[in-house]
Chains A and B, each alone.
Chain A
Amino acid sequence: MDSELSVIVAAFGYLALLFVIAAWADRRARQGRSVIASPFVYTLSIAVYCTAWTFYGSVGRAADAGPSFLLIYLGPTLAMLSGPLIIRKMVRIARAQRITSIADFISARYGKSSRLGALVALVALIGITPYIALQLKAITLSHAVLMHHPVAPSGVTSAASFLSDKSFWVALVLAVFIMLFGTRHLDASERHEGMVAAIAVESLVKLVAFLVVGLFTVFMLFDGPADLFARAAAQPQLQHALGLSAVPGGALGWIGTLLLAFLAFLTLPRQFQVLVVENVDERHLLRASWLFPLYLLIINLMVIPIALAGLLLSGTGSDPDSFVLTLPLSAGQEGLSLFVFIGGLSAATGMVIVETIALSTMVSNQLVMPVLLRATSLSRRLRGDLSGWLLGIRRIAIALILLLGYLYHALIGDAYSLVTIGLVSFAAVSQFAPALLLGLYWRGACGLGAGLGILVGIAVWSYTLLLPGFAQSGWLPMSFVEQGLYHLSWLRPYALFGLDDLDIYSHSLLWSLMANIGVLVGVSLFTHQNRLEQTQAALFTGALTEGIDTAPLWQGQTTRGALRDLLKRYLGSTATSRVLAEANATDNITSIEASVATTDGENAAAMDASASPQLIARAEQALAGALGSASARVLINSVVRGEALDMQAVLRILDSTSQTLEYNRRLEQKSRELARIGEELRGANERLRELDRLKDEFVAMVSHELRTPLTSIRAFAEILRDSQDMPEDKRAQFLEVVVLESQRLSRLIEEILDLARLESGRLTLHPKPLDLVALTRQSLAAVQHPIEERGVHLEAIIDLDEAQVVGDPDRLEQVIINLIDNAAKFAADQAPRVLLRLERHRGHIRLSVEDNGPGIAADERERVFEKFHQLAQQSPASGHTRGRPRGSGLGLPISRGIVSQLGGRLWVEDADTLDGASLIMELPDAPREMQAS
């Protein structure tokens, strides 16, 4: 190309156009008609991912390493597809906490740690500066190719003085652009609309330029894609160009590079800037998450055709990185070549602009400001308005970063090829991924672990990628790479521990990430987070939960005046009034105070009033937007007295308290249960004791009962034995007594056995249908004679023809006889009478036996059914009787047991007809038809 002037005019004319676009977009934004509030602009701004490395380097990599260049774009495709899940969370957190950069994000996540923020900023600076240098180098190289084609451009850059190096001037123009549009607001968390608009235009330019050169190659240099591929397939040295065999590291290296690109897309400072900080509306993410992959697909469509065409037409001698330019140049298409150069320029400048803004924010907020704030003597000297200082620091940082990038490019940039630098940078920023991603989803990840993890990871990265790179540049002996440190072969940087199957990037990524994650997780599991860290961890991990108030509340004491002075000092008076006015609007503060805030008047009373927690939180947010969250925390702490207590911390404390309460409640419940069980046990014990006592009593009574007849039998038997000469009638009388007493004894034993069987449930009855009328008559016949012999008048009233019940006939007869016998015993001494009545009563057959005795008192009625009750009752009266036989006192209890086993009842009442007691037995009526069914 001969006209250098036209190239210069085109290049700087293009840059001037960027200024115009940015200024226009900024003006529109001030008018409230934003041009960037669209998912398409958002997508195009994300396309800043495609740098000069994409524009020139992809073709070079496709020529060298087959389809592996696609991995650099498939990784971001995966990341962007998961954007509505991962990136949305980051956007929401960044908005709530006024995050300004990825360093700020990681620092805020781990308790607003300024040390961690500084570490991330430093690593980013080291890792990214070569990447910026790479862009400047691309500009220099492409310019050289454009000017000197077909002479190979080797040695041009290093020999040339910087004054004749176009990239120096480009860098200078960019510095001005960035200072103008990148530091427009003091609040770095606010959007740079002009910058974003310019970036979007640049993304369009590079896309169109690349497509045009691709179409030109396929359709002008060849007869369409079929022709191109047919000719390429005919070349034996291109046989394997597109296969996996051309990919370094093979299948494993494939996965490694994909992972590397995935992580780098999320952690590159410029991607964080456009994805998170510059995001206008969370909903744009939804469309961008498929639009951006589409952009990547389109820009990569032409890479393989261009690479194949370059290899076919230019031979092996020329640099594949320059095919994009040399193909149209060789065809004599100068206009097209110039357009391609502009496309490459836009790719390079877009990256430099965003990356520099991101880095300068990090440098000023994470590196410089914390030092300034800590150096108290310095900050005391800097009395007055510091807001100007802040912008100054950021601008100086921009200039220094660009200068650093330029120097790197001018002095040592020749040592690397384009792709090398890009992937080395990717591997460096990937070290942020564990702290970032684990921090988003794992509450337990702690700051110390994150910091140490990044340190260890970056150390491994240095050893496995950076130092070998230096060695290849000749600054270190190559023996270090080939034989390892101290000639230890397992320390070879490209084959650590003998692992040499992978390509160098996957190898470095594998070891550094393993070390990084290992340290992060390990340390996190064994350390405790402080309270602020816990709070922030909870806020970050729960960011997508609805209803979480992400604005932390302060529980400290300060005056509005102190806050205002602080804000004024760091943000300037306009921003301060705005913050106070906003806070007033939300707080509903009285109009007097609002007017004070807006007119900046000195109303001492209002300024002495204590600031509300919301106002303090708002002030911290405003400071965080300008200075980063760590510095903002330090500043707020300097004016707020007392404990800074966050809502989440409070909630957490409450959480643990309520847990304790819950435990307490459960303990109480348990102990109440235990007490109740204890009570029950005590009751059971009481009952057992009572039963034991009853048993003892029973045994004593039984022994007594048994001994009485036994004693008399023995006494009479002894008399009979000793008195041989006893008269016969006396002897007969005595023998009669012995027989009677023996009968009584055996009856007693029979009854005791019955009772024992009844109580243990072993008394087997043989229930069957029977007619109680017949049974009663039979019983009456059995007792009539002996009773009447005792002078008792027995009478029976049986109104029924038949009374069907279910029962054991023998036992029932025993009960009836017992009742009659019992009544006869208690009938009056004079003219004793017993009346038996059998009748039907409410579905039952009722048999009552009355006597005309003294009756039974109401409170004694149940006791007659106790065992041996009769003993206590009757013993004093045992002497005076008409010789009625003494009972055992077991008859009634046994009768009651039998009756209740048959489903009936037995109880005592006052007699109806006679004036004594009445014993009543009731059995359920069981008619014949029911028994049949």
Chain B
Amino acid sequence: MMAPRRTERLVVLVILAALLFTPPLILLADRPAGGLSWLAAYLFVAWALVIGLAAWLLERGPRE
């Protein structure tokens, strides 16, 4: 059901998501933008990116 290659890609995606969601990367986004921090906006964008990648990865290819 899961090709080995797809499994590998998924594992890397999970690691990427974990990196995006944790310090020190989030510290980069924790900057004020006209009074409020960018952090929340950054998190939503990163989140959407990860979901998009997962959808692309898991919906591609033949449905078994």
Contact = CB atoms under 8 A, between A and B. Distances in A.
Interface of A: 66-67, 70, 74, 77-78, 81-82, 84-85, 88, 229-230, 232-235, 238-244, 251, 254-255, 258, 282-283, 286-287, 289-290, 293-294, 297, 300-301, 304
Lowest 10 CB-CB distances: which A-B pairs, in order? A233-B35, A243-B37, A290-B54, A251-B23, A242-B37, A290-B55, A244-B30, A67-B40, A82-B14, A286-B58
B21 A243 contact: no
B21 A294 contact: no
A229 B37 CA distance: 11
Given A229-B34, A304-B40, 9 more contacts: A66-B37, A78-B21, A81-B54, A85-B2, A85-B7, A233-B36, A244-B30, A244-B37, A301-B44
B42 to A, nearest CB: 9
Contacts of B59: 286-287, 290
18 contacts: A67-B37, A77-B21, A78-B14, A85-B10, A85-B11, A229-B34, A233-B34, A233-B36, A243-B30, A243-B37, A255-B23, A283-B1, A289-B54, A290-B55, A293-B54, A294-B51, A294-B55, A300-B44
Nearest to A239: B35
Interface in B45-64: 47-48, 50-51, 54-55, 58-59, 63-64
Nearest to B22: A255
B13 A81 contact: yes
A297 B1 CA distance: 27
B58 A287 contact: yes
Given A84-B58, A251-B27, A286-B58, A67 B39 contact: yes
Contacts of A78: 14, 17-18, 21
Contacts, number: 108
Contact of B43 (A74, A239, A287): A74
A244 B22 contact: no
A81 B57 CA distance: 11
Contacts of A229: 34, 36
A577 B23 CA distance: 59
Contacts of B51: 77, 290, 293-294, 297
A70 B50 CA distance: 15
Interface residues of B, number: 35
B32 to A, nearest CB: 7
Contacts of A66: 37, 39-40
Contact of A244 (B21, B34, B39, B50): B39
A4 B3 CA distance: 57
A649 to B, nearest CB: 28
Interface of B: 1-2, 7, 10-11, 13-14, 17-18, 21-24, 26-27, 30, 32, 34-37, 39-40, 43-44, 47-48, 50-51, 54-55, 58-59, 63-64
Nearest to B31: A243
A251 B27 CA distance: 8
Contact of A241 (B10, B36, B54): B36
A258 B20 CA distance: 12
| A interface, over-half SS | helix
A244 B31 CA distance: 9
Given A233-B36, A243-B30, A297 B47 contact: yes
A230 B18 CA distance: 31
Contacts of B64: 283
A70 B55 CA distance: 21
B22 A258 contact: yes
A238 B18 CA distance: 28
A596 B18 CA distance: 59
B28 to A, nearest CB: 11
A385 B63 CA distance: 46
B55 to A, nearest CB: 4
Given A81-B50, A82-B14, A294-B51, A238 B36 contact: yes
Nearest to B34: A233
Contacts of B24: 251
Contacts of A283: 1, 63-64
Contacts of A88: 1-2
Of residues B2, B13, B30, B40, which shows the largest number of chain A Cβ atoms within 10 Å of its Cβ? B40
Contacts of A293: 47, 50-51, 54
Nearest to A252: B23
A74 B39 CA distance: 14
A82 B50 CA distance: 12
A74 B35 contact: no
Contacts of B21: 74, 77-78, 258
A254 B59 CA distance: 32
A290 B58 contact: yes
A297 B55 CA distance: 14
Contacts of B10: 81-82, 84-85
Contacts of B63: 283
Contact of A234 (B11, B35, B40, B50): B35
B14 to A, nearest CB: 5
A304 B41 CA distance: 10
Contacts of A289: 54, 58
A282 B47 contact: no
Contacts of A81: 10, 13-14, 17, 50, 54
A771 B17 CA distance: 92
Contacts of B7: 84-85
A230 B37 CA distance: 12
Given A244-B27, A258-B21, A77 B58 contact: no
A558 to B, nearest CB: 37
B7 to A, nearest CB: 7
A503 to B, nearest CB: 14
A287 B1 CA distance: 13
Contacts of A282: 1
Contacts of A238: 35-36
A780 B2 CA distance: 95
Nearest to A296: B47
A239 B51 CA distance: 30
Contacts of B17: 77-78, 81
Contacts of B58: 84, 286-287, 289-290
A79 to B, nearest CB: 9
A251 B54 CA distance: 26
A240 B18 CA distance: 25
A243 B44 contact: no
Of residues A74, A240, A255, A297, which shows the largest number of chain B Cβ atoms within 10 Å of its Cβ? A74
B53 to A, nearest CB: 9
Nearest to A70: B43
Contacts of B22: 254-255, 258
B2 A84 contact: yes
Of residues A78, A230, A286, A293, which shows the largest number of chain B Cβ atoms within 10 Å of its Cβ? A286
A508 to B, nearest CB: 20
B23 to A, nearest CB: 4
A290 B47 CA distance: 11
Contacts of A230: 34
B39 A243 contact: yes
A765 B40 CA distance: 97
A234 B26 CA distance: 24
Nearest to A82: B14
A57 B64 CA distance: 40
Contacts of B30: 243-244
A239 B47 CA distance: 24
B5 to A, nearest CB: 13
A304 B43 CA distance: 12
A242 B43 contact: no
Contacts of B32: 239, 243
B50 to A, nearest CB: 7
A92 to B, nearest CB: 10
B58 to A, nearest CB: 5
A816 B2 CA distance: 87
A297 B48 contact: yes
A68 to B, nearest CB: 10
Contacts of B50: 77, 81, 293
Contacts of A70: 40, 43
Nearest to A282: B1
